[in-house]
Amino acid sequence: MSKPETLITDYQHELIEDHHSFGSGRYGLRVMLPMDISPAFPYLNSILDDTIYDHENSILIGFSNRKRYAFRPHEIQLGMVADPSDVSGIIEEVVDLVNKVWSDKDNIEPSYTERKIPPVFEIYKMLPRTNCKECGYPTCLAFAADLRSGIVKPEACVKLSEPEYREARDKIISLFTPD
């Protein structure tokens, strides 16, 4: 029996304190890869929950085990790491996921179904643009950037829950909801 094909064989990582609210205990995780993992994206798109996939730009955002991942050719990002001591396990989990999917790709129907989201500035224009900081971000533009990357959910914008922003909220949520 042949050895399973491994895609991720090496990586570096950095734990980043949430630059929007230092001291909050919120962290993001970035795993930098020397190899291009984008050939695995159509297979991951098939098995992950609630994906946003842009094949042309090689970006895949999806959920697995209640974690939201943003995959790019040479990078995997994960937001909201609660406990820095969990980093090794989190990295092992996502690396194992990618490698397992890649080694089993002959048994997975690849999905090229795309759901594109607009650029950051277009998302920003849909937000209340009050820079109220209630979401933990210093500006609505910073919030829009992490919203597009899948690091934060639309519900984190407190103002969007107000009746006057209902239409904007519904439009933004529809961008991040599977058809």
CATH architecture label of 12-107: 2-Layer Sandwich (3.30)
Q: Which fold has domain 120-175?
A: 3-methyladenine DNA Glycosylase II; Chain A, domain 3 (1.10.15)
Report whether 153 contacts 173 (CB < 8 A).
no
Would you say residue 153 has pLDDT above 90?
A: no
Would you say residue 1 has pLDDT above 50?
A: no
pLDDT, tens digit, 9 for 90 and up, residues 88-102: 998 999 999 999 999
User: φ and ψ at 64, to 5 degrees?
Assistant: -155, 130
Note the Cα 109 to chain centre separation in Å: 22
User: φ and ψ at 177, to 5 degrees?
Assistant: -115, 135
Would you say residue 2 has pLDDT above 60?
A: no
Select the highest-mean-pLDDT range: 61-65, 103-107, 116-120.
103-107
Report whether 158 contacts 134 (CB < 8 A).
yes
Measuring CA to CA, how many Å separate 57 from each of 87, 160, 170? 28, 29, 26
User: φ and ψ at 53, to 5 degrees?
Assistant: -130, 130
- Quick one: average pLDDT of 80-86? 81
Residue 141 has which token pair?
């533009």
Give the domain ranges of the chain. 12-107, 120-175
pTM above the 0.95 mark? no
